[in-house]
């Protein structure tokens, strides 16, 4: 007899919402997490008097009370909405190339159009037309794809069928001539990790649409507050969690899950495992090679791994205004050649496109009184960091950070003089804390071929399924939502038996 209806491996966003969904449905669930805190990427750490947010720059999908987005509804159903305070960030972002341009966009369609029309008068007519397309396309994508319209067709959703896989750069080129305007509009590519020449317009449009319509949000207490709330609710719903206790083996017999062995050496019986660990780790490290069905490993040869991140966490001895920080989200660039910037993510050379988030602008209580903090991040692939010998790692990491700071100082003069605490995370840091190959933060590459559009994430092993970035796509909203939908599939399967 199984001791647990399900075992969830990993307490990242996907693992937490998956475990909670199962526990709320009355199932007996064990959640195993290797780290000593829940959250995976969605955690914080303390240096000096600062508690640094590891990952969350802008939460998408929340929406307001009056106009709830999909994430607000899900967190409400999971019982954690009133346990965390969500702070709306007024401006979408500031994009600045020191000495070249400096543009801030409000998270509001009309205001964005006005700002861009004033700044780019030659593109005055094209700007609203572009937003008509962006909105028209997004509405068709939501109705046709997300709401699973059984009658989805080219005739009913022409914009969706025409543009879903068109490269974002191509659409921008159709509308605009000014390279600055194109760069400002498409800068979210550096969040997703796919440059505009490859980024499907569908992915770009729905992201920009969602951030404008549902607004970017910050969490009081950082993403750790949400991870803690999810874990607390899981425990109150009867779930059992073991932190600092990873899973070392998924036990299978005749192609079916029968149990899980923990890193502490005990084996528990279950017929269902929901893995928030990477698919590669799950198949290669946690399951006996003889039990992994033929073809499963082969399939990974045609997939790519997403970027990781390089982040400088800074605690300042002053208020944001004193160092000229007036926006929460600041994209800083020194190029308009986004293809080149992207190609540098695969090297140890400075990419020149990053995002500096100062949470204290939207939430003045975030850091101790009279101080503030910022996370300055650029995405990067893990590969080149594997080539750095251990004795050169420290130098390589601080050299890279130094180059990034030189660029940031051009925007925020004197920033370095006010740093009281600083910590730097590389892809190796994320590899260490998350256990994901190459320190990947989004699972597989977010380029269409490796997303659920074309790749089934179902496991051929009966009782095994996945939640989180490796199961769907990366980012807070998708991973929080994926845990819930994977858990629902498990509940359906349980109900059939």
Ligand X SMILES: Cc1cc2nc3c(=O)[nH]c(=O)nc-3n(C[C@H](O)[C@H](O)[C@H](O)COP(=O)(O)OP(=O)(O)OC[C@H]3O[C@@H](n4cnc5c(N)ncnc54)[C@H](O)[C@@H]3O)c2cc1C
Q: Please work out, in degrees rounded to the nearest 5, the angle formed at the alpha carbon of residue 437 by the alpha carbons of 349 and 343.
A: 25
- State yes or no: residue 74 binds ligand X (CB under 6 A): no
Nearest to 479 by CA among 443, 450, 448, 447: 443
- State yes or no: residue 41 binds ligand X (CB under 6 A): yes
Largest CA distance in the chain: 72
Q: Which stretch binds ligand X (CB under 6 A): 130-138, 175-183, 413-421, 469-477?
A: 469-477
Q: Please work out, in degrees rounded to the nearest 5, the angle formed at the alpha carbon of residue 41 by the alpha carbons of 247 and 186.
A: 140
Size of the site for ligand X (CB under 6 A): 38
Rank residues 33 and 445 by Cβ distance to ligand X and give the closer one.
33
Q: Which stretch binds ligand X (CB under 6 A): 53-61, 96-104, 175-183, 416-424?
A: 53-61
Q: Which stretch binds ligand X (CB under 6 A): 27-35, 234-242, 264-272, 397-405?
A: 27-35
19, 23, 56, 241: which one binds ligand X (CB under 6 A): 56
128, 221, 384, 435: which one binds ligand X (CB under 6 A): 435
- State yes or no: residue 434 binds ligand X (CB under 6 A): yes
We find the least distance from the C-beta atom of residue 411 to ligand X, in angstroms, to be: 19
The 293-312 site mask, x for binding ligand X (CB under 6 A), equals: ----------------x-x-
6, 19, 20, 55: which one binds ligand X (CB under 6 A): 55
- Determine phi and psi for 273, rounding to 5 degrees: -125, 130
215 - beta bridge partners?
none
The 209-248 site mask, x for binding ligand X (CB under 6 A), equals: -------------------------------------xx-
Using the structure block, give the residue that is written with the tokens 């975030």.
366
- 418: three-class secondary structure by DSSP: helix
Cα 415 from Cα 402, distance rounded (Å): 12
Contact predicate 71/198, CB 8 Å: no
6, 7, 11, 194: which one binds ligand X (CB under 6 A): 11
Helical H segments across 188-278, by residue range? 189-192, 201-214, 222-236
The torsion of the CA quartet 340, 325, 209, 39, rounded to 10 degrees, works out to 90
4, 6, 7, 9: which one binds ligand X (CB under 6 A): 9
Contact predicate 465/275, CB 8 Å: yes
Rank residues 144 and 193 by Cβ distance to ligand X and give the closer one.
193
CA terminus-to-terminus distance, the chain = 14
Cα 311 from Cα 33, distance rounded (Å): 24
- State yes or no: residue 190 binds ligand X (CB under 6 A): no
- Where on the chain is the footprint of ligand X (CB under 6 A)? 9-15, 32-35, 40-42, 55-58, 246-247, 276-277, 281, 309, 311, 377, 430, 434-436, 441-442, 468-469, 474-476, 479
């Amino acid at each position: 007899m199984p001791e647990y209806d399900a075992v969830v491996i990993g307490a990242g966003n996907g693992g937490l919402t998956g475990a909670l969904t199962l526990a709320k449905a009355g199932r007996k669930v064990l959640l195993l997490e290797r780290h000593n805190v829940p959250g995976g990427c969605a955690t914080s750490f303390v240096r000096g008097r600062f508690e640094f947010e590891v990952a969350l720059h802008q939460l998408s999908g929340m929406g307001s009370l009056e106009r709830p987005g999909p994430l607000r509804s899900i967190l409400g159903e999971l019982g954690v909405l009133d346990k965390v305070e969500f702070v709306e960030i007024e401006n979408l972002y500031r994009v600045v190339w020191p000495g070249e341009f400096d543009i801030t966009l409000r998270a509001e369609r009309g205001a964005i159009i006005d700002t861009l029309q004033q700044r780019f008068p030659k593109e005055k007519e094209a700007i609203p037309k572009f937003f008509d397309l962006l909105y028209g396309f997004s509405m068709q994508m939501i109705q046709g794809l997300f709401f699973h319209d059984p009658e989805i067709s080219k005739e009913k959703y022409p914009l969706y069928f025409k543009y879903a896989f068109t490269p974002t750069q191509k659409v921008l080129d159709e509308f605009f001539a000014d390279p600055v305007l194109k760069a400002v509009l498409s800068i979210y590519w550096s969040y997703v990790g796919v440059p505009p020449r490859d980024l499907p317009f569908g992915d770009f449009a729905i992201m920009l649409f969602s951030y404008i319509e549902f607004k970017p949000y910050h969490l009081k207490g950082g993403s750790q507050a949400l991870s803690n709330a999810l874990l607390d609710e899981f425990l109150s719903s009867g779930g059992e969690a073991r932190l600092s206790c990873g899973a070392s083996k998924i036990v299978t017999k005749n192609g079916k899950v029968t149990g899980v062995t923990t890193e502490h050496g005990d084996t528990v019986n279950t017929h269902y495992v929901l893995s928030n660990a990477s698919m590669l780790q799950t198949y290669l490290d946690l399951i006996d090679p003889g039990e992994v069905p033929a073809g499963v490993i082969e399939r990974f040869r045609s997939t790519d791994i997403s970027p990781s991140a390089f982040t400088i966490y800074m605690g300042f001895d002053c208020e944001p205004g004193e160092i000229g920080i007036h926006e929460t989200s600041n994209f800083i660039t020194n190029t308009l050649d986004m293809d080149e910037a992207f190609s540098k993510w695969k090297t140890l050379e400075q990419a020149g496109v990053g995002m500096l988030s100062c949470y204290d602008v939207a939430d003045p209580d975030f850091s101790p009184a009279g101080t503030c903090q910022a996370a300055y991040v650029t995405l990067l692939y893990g590969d080149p960091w594997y080539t750095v010998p251990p004795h050169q790692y420290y130098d390589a990491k601080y050299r890279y950070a130094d180059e990034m700071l030189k660029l940031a100082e051009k925007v925020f003069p004197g920033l370095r003089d006010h740093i009281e605490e600083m910590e730097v995370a590389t892809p190796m840091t994320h590899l260490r804390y998350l256990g994901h190959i190459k320190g990947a933060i989004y699972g597989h590459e977010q380029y269409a071929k490796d997303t659920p559009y074309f790749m089934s994430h179902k496991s051929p092993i009966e009782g095994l399924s996945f939640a989180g970035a490796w199961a769907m796509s990366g980012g807070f909203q998708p991973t929080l939502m994926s845990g819930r939908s994977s858990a629902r599939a498990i509940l359906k399967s349980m109900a059939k038996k």
